Structure 1
Amino acid sequence: MSERNYRAAIVGTGGIAGSHARAIAAAGDRAALVAVADVDRGRAKEFADTWNVPRAHGSLTELLREERVDVVHLCTPPRLHTPQAVECLEAGATALVEKPPTLSLAEFDTLIEAERRSTAHVATVLQHRFGTGALRLRRLQEAGGLGRPLLATCVTQWYRDEAYYAVPWRGTWESEGGGPTMGHGIHQFDLLFSVLGPWSEVTAVAARRARDVDTEDVSMALVTFESGAVATIVNSVVSPRQTSSLRFDYERATVEVEHLYGYTDDDWTVTPAPGHENVSESWGRDHSTESSGHTGWLAAVLDALDQGQAPPVTAGDARRTMEFIAALYASAFTGERVRSGQITAGSPFARTMEGTGAPWEKVRNK
């Protein structure tokens, strides 16, 4: 199928918007950034001037009324994602939503319903799925070259100080939806899920150890997958030596990646099990220097749209990740093991990730 030229817009011109603008520019003739919007019209105009964008607007509503766009990149605070994505869908524009896509599982189901009523699509920006290392790992796994997945570790240990949380919408359930589980670790464990497949149950803890915020600043989970593989997941914003790392132990090899905000092939290592040295040879083919950023993700989005398909990460894919987040909080706050499918519409953890309330808030309010 021939490639189209997609008319793109960016809403929210803060820090992450630059990554989206660079990805659109890298798409060449496949996409054009035709408009931007921000509640701070001056900031929108400055961003437009920087990126040679023809028009700047003061709101999404204004942009959709005055522009013809195919895709809208939503780079706004999390509390705005659901209403803005619904507005895009109702206007027939595909919404590409930064993480976390919604504040709750219930809100995400609202997006799914809106997508069903629309000719357009909604997709979550989880770009680490599309780095060449992740693509190669999934290919080798699907081909059976690694044997069965047995064990994995997934670590997001970052550092965010008090100045970071001085931004009013950060660190609250009402505007950010959660702590590092929602806003930081989601990249790593979404990549984990894209490799290991559906999770089946989780046992977790969450704590507020050092930051004066409403949400957690640390969480940890033990996860079992439908395949039988098991994993540990750690999410932190209190770790001075920052790292993002994944380790997959298969029958025939250990595959690892360590990076911070984006990886290349050089960040991956493979350790074959005795007698399976050929795994290293398979892994070393087609070495790439490309980073796992927004550029590869947007290329995959445009490929899907060219074929008339929903762009990755689809609503179904992202819902499984969002359900895991809700289950992690439910397990951490109730002390119970939570299974996939257990967080139903009537659950307090479907309506808000805080659910029945964070334990530290209960102590504070006594």
Structure 2
Amino acid sequence: MSVSGAPGPAGPVRAAIVGTGNIARYHVEALRALGRQVEVVAGVDVDEERLAAFADRHELPALFTDLGTMLREARPDLVHVCTPPGLHREQALACLRAGATALVEKPPALSLAEMDELAAAEGAEGPWFATVFQHRFGSGARRLQEVMATGVLGRPLVAICHTTWFREQEYFDVPWRGRWDTEGGGPTMGHGIHQIDLLVALLGEWTSVSALARQQARVMDTEDLSLAHVTFASGAVASVVNSVLSPREESYVRIDFEHATVELTHLYGYGDDDWRVTPAPGREEAVVNAWKAGESGVSSGHRAQFAHVVRALGEHRPPPVTSSDSARTMRLVAGIYASAFERRTITPADLAAGSPFHGRMDGSGPRW
């Protein structure tokens, strides 16, 4: 994809919000925090009362109950899709076809097939499709990538990626939640995907996964628990756990390198103080000095990613996290489900077009 020499938007990036539920508040507040780089020009929601309340609270200049009408009349450069997962594909495609870049909340789509369709709708020089995976953009994660690149940590050997959260049954009684056809999966897809994305961003391509998924306690169509063993191309191996059954909630990523252990413990977002580095004996000075020299001061909230998105669009280049990056993370999610249902080890090749798990995260249909 070449965007060399192509012009960016003349003036601030024009952004619109689609879906004005709870997550939309974080989007509009993060965009406004970027100042004159971006202008929030419109909001869209089929619920007129909710839309009016959101617009009043956040001073939106134009309101619409129809996405197509908004795209024609407001002509945004960037559309933040904050609706339930089952609507992401259709709404993102509408944005792309109207010439607007789509930035979509997780999960980006319901399947790998939908991801392929969205990537095909992008233009060589825009518009583009990107996913909100903000954990990549806190200074802790960026610092770790910088230090990894120096080689001071050595090879990654063992990793832990656990999203152990708690959701009561009432959470899944909302009609679109806990269903394969509207949410795409359970905690593996809808909760742990942020931690999985961070793990993939740090460790790169995965080569095999062996997993199980269960309905342990909640009543719904999807799993409420999954456990996986993942092998990466580097040779590193990882334990990945996704749960909505855990009263002591925690998000935890740990990577044991040859020369240090790096840990991140948080819940829904992290700051610099949530990271811990433990050097191996004899490596203290080199590891500590490299860590101290890295980026700092940026939490992993939406603002961190949106700053990169707006800057990229201003320079007319694909914004992070790109469709190909998103697909890599989604492929691991699909691999976890495929292994759990097929009861065998899965490789990326097993998820190619034509595979039942390419078209649906539960394969050809319900398996419980």
TM-score range, shorter chain: over 0.9
**What does residue 221 of structure 1 align with?**
228
Distance 2:25 2:237 in 1: 37
Provide the residue aligned with 1:19 in structure 2: 26
Q: Is 1:354 matched with 2:354?
A: no
Q: Which residue of 2 aligns with 1:85?
A: 92
Q: How far apart are the structure 2 equivalents of 1:341 and 1:129?
A: 26
Other-structure match for 2:101? 94
Aligned CA distance change for structure 1 residues 11 and 150 (closer, same or farther; 3 Å): same
Secondary structure at 2:169 match in 1: coil
Give the partner amino acid of 2:250.
Answer: T
> Residue 286 and residue 329 in structure 1: after superposition, are their counterparts in 2 closer, same or farther (change >3 A)?
closer
CA contact (8 A) 1:333 1:356 kept: no
Identity over the aligned pairs, expressed in percent?
54
TM-score (norm 2): 0.95
What aligned pairs does 1:35-74 form with structure 2 within 5 A after superposition? 35-74=42-81
SS state of the match for residue 322, structure 1?
Answer: helix
* 2:112 corresponds to: 105
Does structure 1 residue 10 correspond to structure 2 residue 12? no
Q: SS at 1:158's partner residue?
A: strand
Contact 1:89 1:118 survives alignment (8 Å): no
SS, match of residue 81 in structure 1: helix
Contact 1:300 1:311 in 2 (8 A): yes
Tell me how large the CA RMSD over aligned residues is.
1.5
**Match of 2:245?**
238
Shift in Å at residue 117 of structure 1? 7.4
C-alpha distance in structure 2 between counterparts of 1:56 and 1:209, whole Å? 43
Aligned to 2:154: 147
Partner of 2:326: 318
Matched residue, 1:338: 346
Residue 353 and residue 2 in structure 1: after superposition, are their counterparts in 2 closer, same or farther (change >3 A)? Answer: closer
Per-residue deviation, 1:130 = 0.4
Gaps of 5+ in 2: 1-6
| TM superposition shift of 1:338 | 0.5
What is the aligned partner in structure 1 of residue 256 from structure 2? Answer: 249
Aligned ranges 1:273-288 → 2 under 5 Å: 273-278=280-285, 279-285=287-293, 288=296
- Alpha-carbon shift at residue 287 of structure 1 (Å): 7.0
User: Matched residues in 2 for 1:118 and 1:267: separation?
Assistant: 38
Which structure exhibits the higher relative contact order, with contacts defined as CA atoms closer than 8 Å and separated by 6 or more residues? Answer: 2
Q: Are the counterparts in 1 of residues 146 and 294 from structure 2 also a CA contact under 8 Å?
A: no
Aligned equivalents of 1:177, 1:206: Cα separation in 2:
14
The count of residues paired between Structure 1 and Structure 2 equals 360
1:175 aligns with 2:194: no
Contact residue 11 and residue 74 of structure 1 kept, 8 A: yes
The secondary structure found in structure 2 opposite 1:154 is: strand
Amino acid at match of 1:306: G
Q: What's 1:363 paired with?
A: none
